[in-house]
Amino acid sequence: MKANFKKHTFNFIFPAGTSRGVLHTKNSWFLSIFNDENTLFGTGECSIIEGLSPDFLDEFTYEQKLSSLIEKLKYLALADFFIPGNKTSFSENGMTFLKQFEEEPSIKFGLECALMDANNRGDGIIFDNSFSRGESSIPINGLVWMGTKEFMLDQIEQKITAGFKTIKLKIGAIDFTSELDLIKGIRKKYSSDDLVIRVDANGAFDASTVYGALKELNKLDVHSIEQPVAPLNSKLLRDLAMEQIIPIALDETLLYFQKTSEKIKILEEIKPQFIVLKPSLHGGLTGTAEWIEMAEELNIPWWMTSALEGSIGLSAIAQFTGNYPINLAQGLGTGGIFSNNLPSNLVVQSGEIMMCK
């Protein structure tokens, strides 16, 4: 099997404020598979977030890993990866090969997508479901980026005008009092019946501040809070989930548990109200499917979200999400935050994402 990779640097259309600083650019590597005639056959996106992706140390080391993968693929055929006659289900041999990338989720995600795209003859459709056929849509939340109060208010108004029924606010960039004032202003205009508000703290609080913060958020009918405290503070996370001041959603915590036994243990230990899944960070598509299976066995709802992928990665994640019955708004988009994204087969209308033909 012939394959190569190419780095692409995405440029943000605005300075993107996160709890890890302000982003202006973001890198992905496109993994491409070719057929015997040297024609492009399948593409996957290996998307990383510096300082967060567990398999990214630096560009040189990351590209060494990709080069090693390319070398291994030389000795394999596409048929070695799939159950005969099945376009998306990996065979036992395929799963064994993917397992070696268990701790390299972004590379595993890109590889899975490239293989499935190639197995579906490279038309960008990696799952056959009602979403990928353009017959159904998926509700999504409108993401409000960190920044000044005025910048965040402007984004909120844009999302509501565009028909979003759920918005997600990144908190931790400005002082918490100002963030509360922002949410209070929203609630004066929109009740919880009209607008669902989620917040993502990215571990911004600690034991001395988190309880007071959650009580204030509870007064404002906030739906849930993602990662209120540091990822490995399991005891505090468990206590917060038990008290249910507001529902707790695990995100970064999941990064540290890639093996099946570890996943079960952490879900049973913390018992969060929700988990938030990012295939580029949480084990690729097959690893994310495992998280979903375990969470559902424990009656823990989930939603999918992106890790700043471009259009190729976002399309794959959206199609994957379309395999499941969806009740909650998902954290998906079209990559419109980048000025140099590749063309997308996704569109957003009235707060829902769909495939366009």
pLDDT at 170 over 90: no
Distance CA 143, CA 146 (A): 10
Higher-pLDDT residue of 72, 356? 72
Q: For residue 184, indicate whether it is catalytic.
A: no
Three-class secondary structure of residue 6 per DSSP: strand
pLDDT at 225 over 90: yes
pLDDT at 344 over 80: yes
Going by pLDDT thresholds of 50, 70 and 90, the confidence category of residue 20 is low
Token pair of 13, please?
């259309």
Least confident of 61-70, 220-229, 256-265: 256-265
**pLDDT value of residue 115:** 95
E-only strand ranges, 129-213: 138-139, 142-144, 166-170, 196-200
- The domain 2-119 is placed in CATH, from the list 2.40.50.1070, 3.30.390.10, 2.130.10.10, 3.40.1010.20, at 3.30.390.10
Q: Average pLDDT, whole number, for the chain? A: 93
**pLDDT value of residue 14:** 84
Instruction: Given the residues 159, 165, 168, 170, select the one marked as catalytic.
Output: 170
pLDDT, tens only, 171-204: 876 788 988 999 999 999 899 999 999 999 989 8
Strand ordering across the sheet containing 352-355: 138-139, 352-355, 346-349
**pLDDT value of residue 173:** 66
**pLDDT value of residue 339:** 95
Domain ranges of the chain: 2-119, 138-355
The residue among 199, 201, 142 whose CA lies nearest residue 167 is 142
pLDDT, tens only, 304-317: 999 999 999 999 99
Distance CA 313, CA 68 (A): 22
How far is Cα of residue 301 from the mean position of the Cα atoms in its chain?
A: 15
Instruction: Given the residues 26, 159, 168, 278, select the one marked as catalytic.
Output: 278
Query: Can you identify the CATH homologous superfamily of domain 138-355?
Result: Enolase-like C-terminal domain (3.20.20.120)
Instruction: Judge whether 2-119 and 138-355 match in fold.
Output: no
Q: For residue 278, indicate whether it is catalytic.
A: yes
**pLDDT value of residue 19:** 62
Distance CA 141, CA 166 (A): 5
Q: Given the structure tokens 């959206």, which residue do they identify? A: 318
